[in-house]
Amino acid sequence: MKSLFSLILVLLMATNTYAVTKVNGAGATFPYPMYSKWFSEYNKNNKDVQFNYQSIGSGGGIRQLIKQTVDFGASDAPMKERDMKKAAWPVKHIPTVLGAVSVAYNLEVDSNLNLDGETLSAIFLGDISKWNDGRIQKLNPSVKLPNKDILVVRRADGSGTTSIFSDYLSTVSTKWESKVGRGKSLKWPVGIGSKGNEGVTATVKQTEGSIGYVELAYALKNNLPTVALKNKAGEFQKPSVKGVSLSAASLKKDAKVTASIVDAAGKGVYPISAFTYILLPVKEETVQLKEVKKFLQWALTKGQDMTEELHYAPLPTSLAAKMLEEIK
Amino acid sequence: MVRDIENIQHSFSTENDGNISKKQTFLTYGEQDKFAYYLLKLVASLVIILLLGMIAMLLNSSLSAIEEFGIGFALNDNWNPVEDEFGALAFLFGTLVTSALAILIAAPLSISVAVFINEILPTKLGKLISLFVEMIAAIPSIVFGLWGIFFLGPFVKDVLTPFLKSNFGFLPLFQGASFGIGILTASIILAIMITPTITSICREVLKTVPKIQKEAALALGATRFEMIKIALIKPSFSGLTGGVVLGLGRALGETMAVAMVIGNSPTITASLFSPAATMASVIANEYAEADSDLHLSAMCYIGLLLFLVTFIVNSFARAIVWKKQRKARG
């Protein structure tokens, strides 16, 4: 017993000889797989710093940042004006990767489905309740659509995915904007709510006639049939990492990074996507803050090469360069 | 421990010797008693303080929602986080309906299982079966949820719904489209989850029936079924009810499994096939990502309401059990 105790003591002292800077962050769950991969890769060459990121959700991340219990926050949606006011200092938004939302369905048809924003919002509003509705048929002239009820599947838990999706629907449909609006949790007119991306995936997979939205990474990993959406250029685009990066490239040079990029103009664009941000307090430079900045500089350069294997879309190089300037 | 005993022995021997005793022991008997008394008092009151503290915390964090919506919160079925408008009626409805339906399924089942184990099976086999029943209680609720999504949901959709529709389709309860996710599936899951609780309480209640009473019934010519009905179920009826209500208390608060299969749609409908939402499930779903203060506060208010509902149900159960005990004492 005694020897074990002294062994532990010795080990503790041994590890203490390294001066490890601990950096705490909290926030969005959506980029968590990417961040944890980044932290572990970054840690291999930077042993003197240890990142501790808790994926408690964007809302929680913002709250913790305001309360100053963490060194940086992370959020899928930009911080709201009223939250910004609560913080003791201005907050800088640094986009790290792009997320996209894909529309998955379960229907026995012989070819892939095409939809446009207007029709998609009509489905999620409950205005279109059958698969062989004329509006869907018009977009898919060669497909024989069955006379089946549409089951709308959506997230039950508050989520950045819902926020991006509702932002898109509000942008393309005025009816959606006035009736439902944008948000992480909504008052849904129809459908059933499942918990998490995995819940939506399971429900869609099991229920014929269902349609739901999931994160791009989820649809790609699970090989779900996904809808090709009509973009501003008039092309039907299936969700892809490339299409998402292109929608970010549409962002004008002087535009704010917190601007919405759904339904972006340009060829090859997939229309439902958004940035996910790391939130940096603009204040006196602490050791922790310095380490976060150093990490971000790495993440925006070398880190971007690792995004695609995890099905995230990298930032366009011009934007990454701009952000590097911003951090300095 | 050993020291304690030595101490006691020591104080024994010295007590008899007379005046030196107080110097050599740490505490006298009287002091030991007092010490234990206050210690236990402290621990017991901690439980009450904890409970009161939780109520105070819930009240405090739901204050802004109480100010905004008042009592009408419980009677308003509009839940719109985008517009910051909140009402709990749909969740109250979902919670009460799923729990009531679960009790409707679980109560007869559990009481039958209890009677079967206690009266009909040989003791050894009965013990084995009751072990299995109690093991259901050890299954984590998320596993129930997964089972609900992957097995029970499709079963309800493909087997149970067509059966109910063809036999009882004229009732509004069994109309409308079924996707296997909704009130009915949630209630069945809940029923399975509370069965072990009710069964084990019922078994304890049934054990208290004196053997002589059962034998008397048989001696008077009752069949086994009549004996169970007259000599077993009837006298312990209030105890069984208490057990059922305790199961109800558990069903009201169950969160994860229900959230996974109920469809999480705060609507009030007559059809058991349609999705609904419960008070516990909406808190679990929306709390982490809520960014408006009123939204958070409204969820704390729902928590407070849920607390109130469970409290009422549990006091009801206690009252039944107490009444029965008083009667038994005569």
Q: What is the pLDDT of residue A317?
A: 87
Give A139: exposed, middle or buried? Use CB within 10 Å, 0-12, 13-18, 19+: middle
Out of A186, A192, A199, the one facing B82 most closely (by C-beta) is: A186
- From A97, A99, A101, select the one nearest A124 (Cα to Cα): A101
**Model pTM score:** 0.82
Q: What is the pLDDT of residue A17?
A: 52
Q: What is the pLDDT of residue A12?
A: 59
Angle among Cα B68, B69, B73 to the nearest 5 degrees reads 155
CA distance A190 to A130: 13
Residue A181 contacts B where some CB pair is shorter than 8 Å: yes
A100-273, what's its fold?
D-Maltodextrin-Binding Protein; domain 2 (3.40.190)
CA distance B197 to B244: 9
Q: pLDDT tens digits for chain B (330 residues)?
A: 445 555 555 544 444 554 544 455 677 888 889 999 999 999 999 999 999 999 999 999 999 999 999 889 999 889 998 888 999 999 999 999 999 999 999 999 999 999 999 988 998 999 999 999 999 999 999 999 999 988 999 899 889 988 988 888 888 888 877 888 899 999 999 999 999 999 999 999 999 899 899 999 999 999 999 999 989 998 888 889 889 988 998 899 898 899 999 999 898 988 899 999 999 999 998 887 787 889 999 999 999 999 999 989 888 878 877 777 676 665
Per CB-CB distance under 8 Å, the chain B contacts of A149 are 177
Q: Strand pairing of A91-106 and A273-281?
A: antiparallel
Q: What is the pLDDT of residue B289?
A: 79
Tokens of B240: 């069984």
Out of B149, B177, B285, the one facing A156 most closely (by C-beta) is: B285
Q: Which CATH number fits domain A21-99+274-327: 1.10.10.10, 3.40.50.300, 3.40.190.10, 3.40.50.980?
A: 3.40.190.10
Stated as kind and residue range, the H or E segment containing A93 is strand A91-106
Q: What is the pLDDT of residue B330?
A: 53
Q: What is the pLDDT of residue A160?
A: 84
Interface of B with A in 248-277 (CB under 8 A): 259-260, 263-265, 275, 277
CA distance A89 to A67: 11
Average pLDDT, chain A: 88
Residue A176 CA from chain centroid, whole number: 21
Residue A226 CA from chain centroid, whole number: 17
Q: Between chains, do B81 and A83 touch, taking CB under 8 Å as contact?
A: no
ipTM: 0.77
Spatial CB neighbours of A94, under 8 Å, sequence gap ≥ 6: A257, A277, A278, A279, A280, A296, A300, A323, A326, A327
Tokens of B151: 């097995």
Q: Between chains, do A210 and B179 touch, taking CB under 8 Å as contact?
A: yes
CB A58 within 8 A of CB A74: yes
Q: Between chains, do A195 and B182 touch, taking CB under 8 Å as contact?
A: no
Cross-sheet strand order for the sheet of A114-115:
A114-115, A228-230, A236-237
Spatial CB neighbours of B254, under 8 Å, sequence gap ≥ 6: B141, B190, B193, B280
Q: What is the pLDDT of residue A29?
A: 83
pLDDT exceeds 90 at position A228: yes
d(CA B133, nearest CA chain A) in Å? 29
Residue B153 contacts A where some CB pair is shorter than 8 Å: yes
Q: What is the pLDDT of residue A270?
A: 93
Q: What is the pLDDT of residue B1?
A: 47
From-to residues of CATH 3.40.190.10 in chain A: 21-99+274-327, 100-273
Residue B36 CA from chain centroid, whole number: 33
d(CA A186, nearest CA chain B) in Å? 6
Mutual angle of helices B237-253 and B89-115, in 10-degree steps: 140
> Which residues pair with residue A92 across a beta bridge?
A280
Give which of A187, A208, A276 to mutate to test B binding, by max B Cβ within 10 Å: A187
Rg over CA atoms, chain A: 22
Out of A80, A180, A203, the one facing B181 most closely (by C-beta) is: A203
Cross-sheet strand order for the sheet of A72-75:
A49-54, A21-27, A72-75, A273-281, A91-106, A210-215, A151-155, A192-194
Give which of A149, A192, A201, A204 to mutate to test B binding, by max B Cβ within 10 Å: A192
Spatial CB neighbours of B279, under 8 Å, sequence gap ≥ 6: B88, B91, B92, B94, B95, B302, B303, B305, B306, B309
Residue A241 CA from chain centroid, whole number: 13
Sign of CA dihedral A123, A128, A132, A133: negative
- From A88, A52, A50, A92, select the one nearest A75 (Cα to Cα): A92
- From B290, B125, B238, B262, select the one nearest B184 (Cα to Cα): B262
Q: Between chains, do A193 and B264 touch, taking CB under 8 Å as contact?
A: yes
CA distance B148 to B139: 13
pLDDT digits (tens, 9 = 90+) for A175-226: 999 999 998 889 999 999 998 888 899 889 888 899 999 988 888 888 889 9
Q: What is the pLDDT of residue A260?
A: 85
pLDDT digits (tens, 9 = 90+) for A245-283: 888 887 777 778 888 888 888 888 999 988 999 999 988
Q: What is the pLDDT of residue B14?
A: 47
Out of A180, A185, A192, the one facing B286 most closely (by C-beta) is: A185
Tokens of B126: 């009965």
Characterize A216-234 residue by residue with b for buried, 16 or more Cβ atoms within 10 angstroms of its Cβ, and e for exposed.
bbbbbeeebebbbbbbbee
Residue with tokens 């509705």: A133
Q: What is the pLDDT of residue A105?
A: 94
CA distance A80 to B292: 10
The mean-pLDDT minimum among A2-6, A42-46, B301-305 falls in A2-6
Q: How many CB atoms lie within 10 A of CB B308?
A: 13
Question: Given pLDDT bands bounded at 50, 70 and 90, which one contains residue A11?
Answer: low
